[in-house]
């Protein structure tokens, strides 16, 4: 399971990931989107109809947290049904040297509560928390799917994630 995210899928901008939720299998369609400012104007095309978004930022780079906040606002404005997951990346680096952390855990947690999102700190290097994150995405989708769907046909979820674990918001 762990290797699925850490090795096989790096370098794939699109992944269809089946996840077991109870007695059902939910397939997440995970899209990587370009996070650079240049393509900001086009980003809406990507998350149209998305039901979940993982907004990533670099725990060792406070400017990337500001970018993440921007994306959160953008998503909240455009996609009401889209659940947001805030994700601090490179947790392995911080575990190695705590002084490198630039975004306090509680600050991030507070912000996440404020926007009604979920907060995770992950490492794509060790794979820590990555599966937990997507498991949570799948479970949340499963529980909300009943509210919105008359018939349980769609096991597929157009789910979007800002850049593959590390790319999106931390570059600027």
- Residue ranges in contact with another protein by CB under 8 A: 10-14, 16, 29, 31-36, 38-39, 41-42, 45-46, 49, 151, 153-158, 163-164, 167-168, 171
66 contacts: CB under 8 Å, gap ≥ 6: none
Question: How far apart are the C-alpha atoms of 141 and 10, rounded to whole Å?
Answer: 24
| Shortest Å distance, C-beta 66 to another protein | 18
> Nearest approach, Cβ of 134 to another protein (angstroms)?
16
By beta-carbon proximity to another protein, the closer residue of 112 and 123 is: 123
DSSP state of 162: S
Alpha-carbon span 122 to 91, nearest angstrom: 6
Q: Which lies closer to another protein via its Cβ, residue 50 or residue 101?
A: 50
Handedness of CA 134, 12, 112, 45 (dihedral sign): negative
Residue 117 Cβ vs another protein, minimum distance, rounded to whole Å = 22
């Amino acid at each position: 399971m762990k290797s699925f995210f850490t090795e096989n899928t790096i370098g794939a901008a699109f992944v269809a990931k089946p996840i077991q939720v109870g007695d059902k299998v939910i397939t997440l369609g995970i899209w990587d989107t370009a996070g650079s400012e240049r393509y900001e104007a086009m980003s809406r095309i990507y998350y149209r109809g998305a039901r979940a978004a993982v907004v990533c930022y670099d725990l060792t780079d406070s400017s990337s947290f500001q970018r993440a906040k921007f994306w959160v606002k953008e998503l909240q404005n455009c996609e009401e049904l889209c659940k947001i997951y805030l994700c601090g990346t490179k947790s392995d680096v911080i575990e190695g040297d705590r002084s490198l952390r630039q975004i306090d855990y509680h600050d991030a947690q507070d912000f996440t509560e404020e926007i009604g999102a979920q907060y995770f700190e992950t490492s794509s290097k060790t794979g820590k928390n990555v599966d937990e994150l997507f498991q949570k995405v799948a479970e949340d989708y499963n529980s909300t799917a009943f509210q919105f769907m008359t018939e349980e046909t769609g096991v597929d979820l157009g789910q979007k994630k800002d850049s593959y674990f590390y790319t999106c918001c931390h570059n600027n």
